[in-house]
Amino acid sequence: MTDFTRLPWVLGAALVCAPAAAMTWIGPPAVRMQQGQWSLGGVCGYSEQDVEVADEGILEDMEIETRLARIAVCALTDRVELFGLLGAVSTNEDFLHGSPDAAFGGGIRATVTPGEPVAWGFVAQALYADLDESDFTDIQIGLGPCWREGPFLLYGGAMIHLLSGDWVDQYLDLDVDFRQDSAIGAYLGGGLDLWDRLTVTIEGQLTGGGSCGAVSVEWRF
């Protein structure tokens, strides 16, 4: 018989070790920069996730915050952007003490069909952690249209969220695999160019097992 009394501690300890356990900002699916430009920015997100624990069940509505710095470059063509992510996550769950843990990753954004005012593209990104007792990978893929008119920006589409990881605790005699409860979802965001080089966006995401709200600030050079 499955011992569900261990479940909050199993998943709680794993999320302390796993910055990859939450959705975060995806952004417009089409590239905004021109060849030779680069940008610096910050991302802050809040998500609630249902996570499936192997042989234990599902823990619902884990509240997780992400805070990431982001650097991007559009080096070889104005249709492809490469970016890196570095920051931390924390949870509001009492038994996790809200402790932040390091996160790092990166991704690619590409314009598939350029156009004005609507362009189509995709973005794929991953966050990863390899700590003392765990390793986690969190992947998000979004595709869809991006509409621009003057200083205004609107984007959205379908998304895939994949979470996989393994956590070992010798004290509790546990070796646990994790994955997302639902992988398919959608995202929608909007933004505003406050100046020629500064853009602020707000975004929402929804899957069958989670939801996320995020904001981003980006300065293009």
pLDDT on residue 196:
82
> What are the boundaries of each domain within the chain?
4-207
Helix H or strand E segment including 135: strand 134-149
Q: Which CB contacts under 8 angstroms, 24+ apart, belong to 72-76?
A: 72/33, 72/38, 72/39, 72/41, 72/109, 72/218, 73/37, 73/38, 73/39, 74/31, 74/33, 74/34, 74/35, 74/36, 74/37, 74/38, 75/35, 75/36, 76/35
The reported pLDDT for the residue numbered 199 is: 96
**Stated pTM of the model:** 0.80
Identify the pLDDT of residue 166: 67
pLDDT of residue 174: 59
Show pLDDT as tens, one digit a residue, over the chain (221 residues): 444 444 444 444 444 433 334 578 999 999 989 999 999 999 998 888 776 766 666 666 667 788 899 999 998 899 999 999 998 877 655 444 445 577 889 999 999 999 889 999 999 999 876 655 666 778 899 999 999 999 999 999 999 988 777 666 656 565 666 666 678 999 999 999 998 889 999 999 998 878 899 999 999 99
